[in-house]
Amino acid sequence: MGAVTDGGIPRIGIMESKDEVIRKRLLIDGDGAGDDRRINLLVKSFIKWCNSGSQEEGYSQYQRMLSTLSQCEFSMGKTLLVYDMNLREMENYEKIYKEIECSIAGAHEKIAECKKQILQAKRIRKNRQEYDALAKVIQHHPDRHETLKELEALGKELEHLSHIKESVEDKLELRRKQFHVLLSTIHELQQTLENDEKLSEVEEAQETSMEADPKP
């Protein structure tokens, strides 16, 4: 990737400034800034090693190439691990996402349940308040037991009084009858006495008339 020319900098265009170059470079190979360059260096050093003359230089070049290679392998391994990690993170997130969905559904149900409970509680409260309102009114009226007791007492008094009245009336009747008897006896006596008087007057009158009339 990237045109390789001397110095490792691809020849883009004569008109572009250094900034453009840097920007483009960053865009192309932003992340592993060293990787692309490392591979280019490796290729160059390989060519150099092929063309090298002495044994030592060749050997050191060879070592250097091996180390560059291992560096590349290392970074590749790292990237693979990161990729693996990302996959597993995705799975993890999927799992969490599903769990959250379930709990949202559960929460919705709970909310519906609670709403029903609120309605129920409101109904209960309303009933209680109605009860209280009626109870207040009822409190104003006197207690039934006491009223009943008062009624009983009054009843008893009434009975008692009516007994007394009866007995008094009986007495009155008796006395009235006795008086009546007394008075009628007196009357009879009077009558008898008068009758006697009249009889004796009549007898006297007869006697005098007989005396005045003896010479016919």
Closest separation between CB of residue 125 and other proteins, Å?
Answer: 5
Residues 87, 107, 133, 202: which binds other proteins (CB under 8 A)? 133
- What the block records as the tokens of 198 is 């009249």
One-letter amino acid of 113: E
**16: phi > 0 → left, psi -120 to 50 → alpha, else beta; which?**
beta
Q: Which of residues 101-120 bind other proteins (CB under 8 A)?
A: 119
The answer to whether the CB of 34 falls within 8 A of the CB of 7 is no
Which of 7, 46, 10, 6 is closest to 29 using CA atoms?
Answer: 10
Residue in 91, 99, 130, 152 binding other proteins, rule: CB under 8 A? 130
- Residue whose CB is less far from other proteins, 123 or 175: 123
What is residue 198's three-state secondary structure? Answer: helix
94, 99, 132, 204: residue in contact with other proteins (rule CB under 8 A): 132
Any contact of residue 84 with other proteins (CB under 8 A)?
Answer: no
CB of 37 within 8 A of CB of 7? no
Number of residues interacting with other proteins: please give it, by CB under 8 A: 12
Q: Rounded to the nearest whole angstrom, what is the least distance from the CB of residue 129 to other proteins in the complex? A: 4
Whose CA is closest to 71, among 89, 50, 92, 45? 45
Beta carbon nearer to other proteins, 33 or 121: 121
Stretch that binds other proteins, among 31-39, 58-66, 127-135, 198-206 (CB under 8 A): 127-135
**Residue 109 Cβ, how far from other proteins at the closest point, in Å?**
16
Buried b (16+ CB within 10 A) or exposed e, 71-80: ebeeeeeeee
C-alpha span between 74 and 69 (Å, rounded) = 9
**CA separation, residue 104 to residues 97, 107, 112, 143 (Å):** 10, 5, 12, 57
The verdict on 122 binding other proteins (CB under 8 A) reads yes
Report, in Å, the least distance between residue 144 CB and other proteins: 16
18 contributes a contact to other proteins by CB under 8 A = no
Indicate which single residue of 18, 136, 145, 215 sits in contact with other proteins (rule: CB under 8 A).
136
| Residue with smaller CB distance to other proteins, 119 or 193 | 119
Asked if residue 129 binds other proteins (CB under 8 A), the reply is yes
Where on the chain is the footprint of other proteins (CB under 8 A)?
Answer: 119, 122-123, 125-126, 129-130, 132-134, 136-137
